[in-house]
């Protein structure tokens, strides 16, 4: 891959202000290179004076400086020169430290802004995006790969450019002193690193891909394991998942080891080369008959120059190795930022108002997740009146959940329309429509936080309306339990996924959460199907208390859940048929007639096949 391609991709994912900062930092790195040369240049006259103080009288420029400083003796002048040289080195290092600090701060702040942008980009994607993208991969990209790109690609790219500037500046200075020797040193050192990079390039390409694969496996296995920890422990399968994670982690460790070994490998051989070059240089000068006064300044400059060039060249090589190692992460980020852009103007357009005063209407709606799989909804027509309680039943795959997802504004019809008071719901008003809806799923996702923050989900603690919170909790019949049985009331931390709560309490918090949002449409997607009959009855009594004040839509598998519904729709083959109230449904068939309550509860465990439903009650 051409060198400019990764650079282009890196600049593409940076914002305009970040690109300007990169240019500024590169200019500062040029200044660092100048100070490095000035510090190095200040050493040569000092060593020349130490070797031959007579230069003070022989060189008019040195003699002029001697007079300007008012030195009382040659030794005092040499001491002044030493202090000046030391000061130049200190200034050079101070400037280098300041620029390095600015560079490190920039890379870590870029890590912050890029991860923030990527998190926002993912979370604003359409709901269907998450059907095809593993949540562990998304987390890995936001938390892991962004950091890899910033700390190993961006940072190393800037280090490479800065160190190259230093090496080039030092080489130009040394060429003025002795072109032949300087070019020989540069070819020897630089050529060794170029050769090492060429020889290891293919290895690093393979290793970098294996690292990305191992990282994906680690995140996926860890996510899958702890998301299903209850089932894992119940089946005694801890060691199975442990072995899978250990295998992925071992592969990751091996690839990282190879990368670091390759990055540091030239250093040790080059130290021998550098020492050998210095010995050869001394021998050449000695054989040429140079006196110590001439040899000492040259040796000092070359030694100090070598001390600065060797680490710089090593950092260039290590940086190029690390960039090659983490290049797949840059490719991944660039690809995702390019493919999944969020249209800011479109997001603003989503703020349009929607009023709900009369009805919600599904008008000849069809939808398919994949064309080859056939439609899940096929010409669906359904009307939900304001402040009505509506039940939805049907077999698995009949389209119930898809219709609800469409009602929630998560999916858009392939054909047909979803209308609210005659207004089509589309990308222009979808976010406004969602503000009308409170959603209670079968499994309530709870934060490892207080009851208050779980009910007021997404609202900063300082902005929580306490009165509204209590009213929502009372309507969901959870307020008394919170106040009487929880040690810190609404500030009680309930643990991850509400581990300290019963199933009924979790559902009530879910209902309170939906009500706190100020929704006038409450959607329960099999919200009580995992509860026992007694708990379900109590939860449904809480919901029934809201009837007439808001629109309630219930998907249920147990028919008794729908007892208070004004209208029940039966879904079959992507269509919905209204069958009236629960009493109407039962009147068409005597399934529950003459049955005692215990027998009715035992029979009332699941919805029959949709084709038999009309004859099942």
pLDDT tens digits along 324-344: 888 888 998 988 888 887 665
pLDDT at position 598 is: 32
pLDDT tens digits along 18-67: 999 999 998 888 888 888 778 777 777 777 677 667 666 766 776 777 67
Q: Give CATH superfamily name and number for 4-342.
A: ABC transporter type 1, transmembrane domain (1.20.1560.10)
DSSP notation for 274-304 = HHHHHHHHHHHHHHTT--HHHHHHHHHHHHH
**Distance set, CA 420 to CA 359, 382, 445, 511 (Å):** 6, 12, 29, 23
| Pairs from 236-241 (Cβ < 8 Å, separation ≥ 24) | none
Domain ranges of the chain: 4-342
Continuous segment of H or E residues that includes residue 30: helix 16-41
Mean pLDDT of 300-319: 77
How many other C-beta atoms are found inside a 10 Å radius of the C-beta of residue 254?
14
Question: CA angle, 141 as apex, 138 and 143 as ends, to 5°?
Answer: 105
Mean pLDDT lowest among 365-374, 458-467, 480-489? 365-374
Under 8 Å between Cβ of 247 and 272: no
Mean pLDDT of 286-314: 70
**Distance set, CA 201 to CA 115, 204, 208 (Å):** 29, 5, 11
pLDDT tens digits along 202-230: 877 788 888 888 888 888 888 878 777 76
Residue 390: which pLDDT band, with cuts at 50, 70 and 90?
very high
Mean pLDDT of 341-356: 63
376, pLDDT greater than 70: yes
Report the percent of the chain where pLDDT is more than 90: 13
How many other C-beta atoms are found inside a 10 Å radius of the C-beta of residue 181?
18
pLDDT at position 362 is: 94
């Amino acid at each position: 891959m051409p060198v400019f391609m990764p650079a282009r991709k890196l600049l593409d994912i940076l914002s305009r202000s970040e690109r300007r900062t990169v240019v500024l930092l590169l200019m500062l790195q040029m200044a660092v290179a100048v100070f490095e040369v000035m510090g190095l240049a200040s050493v040569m006259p000092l060593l020349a004076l130490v070797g031959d103080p007579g230069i003070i009288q022989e060189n008019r420029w040195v003699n002029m400086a001697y007079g300007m400083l008012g030195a009382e003796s040659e030794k005092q002048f040499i001491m002044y020169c030493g202090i000046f040289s030391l000061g130049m080195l200190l200034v050079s290092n101070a400037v280098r430290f300041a620029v390095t600090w600015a560079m490190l701060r920039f890379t870590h702040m870029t890590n912050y802004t890029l991860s923030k942008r990527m998190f926002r980009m993912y979370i604003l994607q359409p709901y269907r995006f998450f059907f095809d993208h593993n949540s562990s991969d998304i987390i890995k990209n936001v938390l892991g790969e962004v950091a890899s790109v910033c700390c190993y690609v961006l940072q190393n790219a800037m280090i490479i450019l800065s160190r190259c500037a230093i090496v080039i500046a030092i080489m130009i200075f040394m060429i003025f002193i002795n072109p032949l020797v300087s070019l020989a040193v540069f070819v020897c050192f630089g050529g060794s690193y170029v050769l090492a990079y060429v020889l290891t390039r293919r290895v690093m390409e393979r290793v970098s891909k294996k690292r990305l694969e191992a990282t994906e496996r680690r995140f996926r296995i860890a996510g899958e394991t702890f998301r299903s920890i209850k089932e894992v422990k119940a089946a005694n399968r801890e060691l199975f998942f442990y072995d899978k994670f250990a295998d992925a982690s071992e592969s990751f460790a091996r690839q990282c080891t190879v990368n670091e070994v390759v990055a540091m490998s030239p250093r040790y051989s080059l130290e021998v080369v550098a020492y050998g070059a210095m010995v050869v240089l001394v021998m050449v000068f000695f054989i040429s008959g140079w006196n110590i006064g001439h040899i000492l300044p040259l040796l000092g400059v070359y030694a100090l120059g070598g001390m600065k060039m060797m680490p710089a060249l090593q950092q260039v090589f290590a940086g190029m190795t690390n960039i090659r190692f983490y290049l797949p992460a840059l490719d991944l980020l660039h690809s995702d930022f390019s493919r999944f852009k969020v249209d800011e103007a479109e997001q603003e357009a989503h703020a349009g108002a929607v009023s709900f005063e009369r009805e919600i209407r599904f008008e000849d709606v069809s939808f398919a997740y994949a064309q080859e799989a056939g439609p899940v909804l096929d010409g669906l027509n359904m009307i939900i009146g304001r402040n009505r309680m509506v039940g939805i039943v049907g077999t698995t795959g009949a389209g119930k959940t898809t219709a609800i997802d469409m009602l929630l504004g998560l999916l858009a019809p392939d054909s047909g329309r979803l209308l609210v008071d005659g207004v089509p719901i589309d990308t222009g008003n979808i976010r406004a429509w969602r503000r009308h809806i409170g959603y209670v799923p079968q499994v309530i996702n709870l934060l490892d936080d207080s009851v208050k923050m779980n009910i007021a989900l997404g609202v900063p603690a300082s902005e929580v309306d306490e009165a509204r919170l209590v009213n929502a909790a009372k309507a969901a019949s959870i307020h008394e339990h919170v106040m009487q049985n929880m040690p810190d009331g609404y500030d009680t931390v309930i643990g991850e996924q509400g581990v300290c709560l019963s199933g009924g309490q979790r559902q009530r918090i879910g209902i309170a959460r939906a009500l706190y949002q100020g929704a006038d449409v409450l959607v329960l997607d099999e919200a009580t199907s995992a509860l026992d009959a007694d708990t379900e009855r109590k939860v449904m009594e809480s919901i029934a208390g809201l009837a007439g004040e808001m629109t309630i839509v219930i998907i249920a598998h147990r028919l008794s859940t729908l007892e208070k519904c004004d209208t029940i729709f039966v879904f079959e083959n992507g269509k919905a048929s209204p069958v009236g109230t629960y009493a109407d449904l039962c009147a068409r068939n005597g399934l529950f007639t003459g049955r005692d309550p215990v027998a009715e509860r035992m029979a009332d465990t699941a919805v029959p096949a949709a084709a038999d439903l009309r004859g099942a009650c």
